[in-house]
Amino acid sequence: MNTRDIADLFSSGARFVCAYAYPKAFEYLSIEANLINANRALVAFDREIRQLPDNGAFYVAPTSLENKKDAAQLKKSFEEIRDAVYPIVSFIELTLKSQTTPGALIPGSPISYPTLLNEITSHDHLLDALSKLVRHKQFKNSKSTPDGQLNVVFERLVDIGLLTLKNRSQLIYEVTGMIEYIHTLIQKINDHEQVEFSQDDEQGELIL
């Protein structure tokens, strides 16, 4: 692993480099001297690598917004993620309702595709939640079976960078460090939209 590998990784579409999706790159960037070297190489592009709080995932950010192209690109990039928040929130809600995870997804949370599918097909309210989930444009597909629909949802979440396939034979996925960014954004949106919390929300994990 070297600076060039890191640059290649980010330029090939990796948005968040975390311990779960890119363990080697994460380990490399966690060494301060390596991070400094990588950032030195990015100076000419007005970019730098930053880290989400609490030793979270690394991501590329512009060093300034004087260049209008950068400002426009930043806004577009943010809007892409913001527009994916509703489908992602619906997916997390589905995992919570299925009781396959004890709380909201966090970096490293394992998700067993077969277990989740089994829960969904065993409960009507979860089947209903899945059919609503695939109405989001990010998850839209022509599949008619729960398996087919859920499979597309997982594929898209891997594409977005939220999930990574950890065990191919058992279909165990892991949540990536991107989820921290999403949770922070959810909190910001809640504050901005002045979302009201009901008792059901506050006892979320109890009623599940």
Neighbour tally for 146: CB within 10 Å: 17
* Nearest distance, CB of residue 119 and another protein, angstroms: 14
* Nearest distance, CB of residue 96 and another protein, angstroms: 6
Return d(Cα 151, Cα 146) in angstroms, integer.
8
Query: Is residue 43 a contact partner of residue 7, using CB atoms and an 8 Å limit?
Result: no
Q: Judged by CB, which is closer to another protein: 140, or 188? A: 188
Q: Judged by CB, which is closer to another protein: 7, or 171? A: 7
Return d(Cα 30, Cα 206) in angstroms, integer.
37
Q: Judged by CB, which is closer to another protein: 144, or 199? A: 199
Q: Decide: helix, strand or coil at residue 67.
A: coil
* Nearest distance, CB of residue 75 and another protein, angstroms: 5
* Nearest distance, CB of residue 146 and another protein, angstroms: 20
| Range list of H helices, 98-145 | 113-122, 124-133
Indicate the residue type of 76. Answer: K
Return d(Cα 83, Cα 160) in angstroms, integer.
12
How many residues would you count in the chain? 208
Q: Judged by CB, which is closer to another protein: 27, or 83? A: 83
